Amino acid sequence: MTVRRVPRVRSALARLMACLSLATVATSRAAAQGVTVSPPVVVIDARTRTGQLDLFNPGREPVEVAVVLRYGIPATDSLGNVFVPLDSAPPANRRAATAWVEAFPRRTTILPGARQTVRFLARPPADLADGEYSTRVVTSSKSAAIPLSVGDSASGISARLNVEVHTVTTLLVRKGAVQTSLELGTPRLSVRNDSLLVQVRAVPGGTAAWLGTLRGSFISEQGRIFDFLERPIGIYEAIEPSFAIARGALPPGRYRLVVTGRVDRLDVPRGLLTPAPEARVETVVEVPGQP
């Protein structure tokens, strides 16, 4: 059995151009830096009730930072596009921590090269059921303003568009024992323009979000494996994401389409993940040729 990755077009010339272009841009970088936010996921134990986020200003200008909490979980539209709508008032039936977690400080100015710790205090209701509760931490940096110059003559038209950068990370509060699981539906294959789309329904179970990685492969009748998907994802409620593959990357023919979900993430420490059995589905699909 041979294993092959779906090929990506990367010419040496493109890489060279990229390096040259980045070097050019780097000279103007210091003018407007954002803040660094870490870690991407803060987990608070309901017994200790505290957590923290570290902000760092690597730029040359002071940055005004505001930290607010919003509720938001990944959702998908009918085409399988993933988005994360943010609400200040979460729906009543969700495991939301937004209303009872506070951030200190909520506003601050970070000097160039300085760090700031933002501490979180969770005050969960006394009758809160065991489980995992989530909120998003929106860190806004106001110095990240870009001028939109439109004309520079004294008699002309000039304008300025200030862009505020929001960096949105995750805060989880866990109370008691939490469990999670993942159920995958049969993947569906469709053609859209010059892409093949694989869409799969993913339904979490238990009292915690399923944080893991979805992987997918096409296996030809000759046993060749074409890996097309490795997507870290958090599943808080049923979603049906889609994943695109360039049509030319896969020869036409009959394939077994396999999608798996495992609790492993490169971007989240293993100790913060809630374990769950691997989910796996497969089906047989016919990949059409190019029109």
56 lines the binding site for another protein (CB under 8 A): yes
Q: Which two tokens stand for residue 40?
A: 């991407």
Determine the size of the site formed for another protein (CB under 8 A).
75
3 belongs to the binding site for another protein (CB under 8 A): no
Give the residue among 284, 261, 281, 253 at the shortest CA–CA distance from 189.
Answer: 284
Among 72, 90, 131, 187, the residue binding another protein under the rule CB under 8 A is 72
Q: Site residues for another protein, window 77-106 (CB under 8 A)?
A: 81-84, 86
Tell me whether residue 41 or residue 44 sits nearer to another protein (CB atom).
41
Q: What is the dihedral of CA 275, 276, 277, 278, to 10 degrees?
A: -90
Q: Rounded to the nearest whole angstrom, what is the least distance from the CB of residue 19 to another protein in the complex?
A: 7
17 binds another protein (CB under 8 A): yes
Q: Which of 50, 137, 46 is nearest to 86 (CA)?
A: 137
- Cα 100 to chain centroid, rounded: 24
**Closest residue by Cα to residue 256 from 199, 203, 217:** 217
Which residue number, 86 or 197, has a Cβ lying nearer to another protein? 86
Task: Give the Cα separation of 74 and 85 in Å (integer).
Answer: 7
Return the number of the residue (197 or 224) whose C-beta is nearest another protein.
197
If the CB atoms of residues 246 and 283 are measured against another protein, the closer one turns out to be 246
Q: How far is the CB of 290 from another protein (least distance, A)?
A: 20
9 binds another protein (CB under 8 A): yes
- Indicate which single residue of 34, 62, 124, 206 sits in contact with another protein (rule: CB under 8 A): 34
- The Cα 268–Cα 54 span in angstroms is 16
Please tell me whether residue 168 binds another protein under the rule CB under 8 A.
yes
Bridge partners (DSSP) listed for residue 49: none
Chain positions 258 to 277 lying near another protein, rule: CB under 8 A, are 265-270
Burial class (CB in 10 A: 0-12, 13-18, 19+), 274: buried
CB 213, min distance to another protein, A: 9
Give the other-Cβ count within 10 Å of 96's Cβ. Answer: 23
Buried b (16+ CB within 10 A) or exposed e, 6-22: eeeeeeeeeeeeeeeee
Query: Residue 231 CA to chain centroid, in angstroms?
Result: 10
Span near another protein by CB under 8 A; candidates 110-118, 154-162, 185-193, 215-223: 154-162
Binding mask 188-227 toward another protein (x if CB under 8 A, else -) reads ---------------------x-x----------------
Contact 189, 220 (CB under 8 A): no
Residue selected from 151, 205, 248, 277 as contacting another protein according to rule CB under 8 A = 151
